[in-house]
Amino acid sequence: MTVWAPKRFWKAAGVVETPEGFGIALDGRAVKTPAKATLAVPTRALAEAIAAEWDAQGETVDPATMPLTRAANAAIDKVAAQHGEVAAYIADYGGTDLLCYRAEAPEPLVARQAQGWDPLLDWAAEALGARLAVTQGVVPVAQPDEALAALSARVAAMDAWQLAALHDLVGISGSLLLGLAVAEGRLPPEEAWALSRIDEDWQAEQWGHDEEAAALAAVKRQALLDAARFWTLSQRG
């Protein structure tokens, strides 16, 4: 079965200044989002990176190779129109943050989690005003209202571009604190990815690596790195 893919119709992609910011033009024609809004971003650096994605396309367009374009479309068409809902959805991860749920055994895994995750909990308490509680096992632990409120306020203060990036940083890692640590410059994205995978890597060390799981993990890792890059490129000043 042949899958239809849009054909490349342009020779060159470029950056143009618009009232909304920096737009992308294909042979002088403005690129639109799926919702038909102008694809305009807040920084020239991000616009140039998106234009490079369009220039890199072959005879057919492959959206899977255009993560910055997809993120910009999401920021414009979805996040900007539902800012409060998106911010609340992301902030909800604080109530069940990955870093707060620890193994009961074996001791080497317990120690590895503590070594990797405890410094982030301390950072959140000091830098974000959010001291989260830790538990062992999967029984839910109630988080302090003031900590959740501080995290929610931090997320709600972000603009649509930041929220679009944070949405993926948090969703992929399973941790609001890891996502915020990358966004705030506390962690490089590669380290955040490794910290999010402590449990999975431990299991692989004990029972061997599964090729299918490794392939899926590689895709998710790249998506997290792309989200971190989108965050960086979208920052003004």
Assess if residue 72 is contained within a domain: no
Task: Specify the length of the chain in residues.
Answer: 237
Domain that includes residue 36, residue range:
1-62
Assess if residue 70 is contained within a domain: no
Same domain, residue pair 9 and 106:
no
Assess if residue 74 is contained within a domain: no
pLDDT (0 to 100) of residue 5 = 66
Question: Is it the case that residue 65 has pLDDT exceeding 80?
Answer: yes
What's the CATH code of the domain at 227? Answer: 1.10.3580.10
Q: Note the pTM of the prediction, 2 decimals.
A: 0.95
Same domain, residue pair 32 and 98:
no
Tens of pLDDT, residues 87-96: 999 999 999 9
Assess if residue 76 is contained within a domain: no
What's the CATH code of the domain at 57? Answer: 3.30.2180.10
Tens of pLDDT, residues 110-169: 999 999 999 999 999 999 999 999 999 888 999 999 999 999 999 999 999 999 999 999
Same domain, residue pair 123 and 11:
no
Same domain, residue pair 127 and 168:
yes
Mean pLDDT of 8-29: 94
Pairing of strands 21-26, 29-30: antiparallel
Same domain, residue pair 211 and 130:
yes
Instruction: Give me the chain's average pLDDT, please.
Output: 95
Same domain, residue pair 145 and 202:
yes
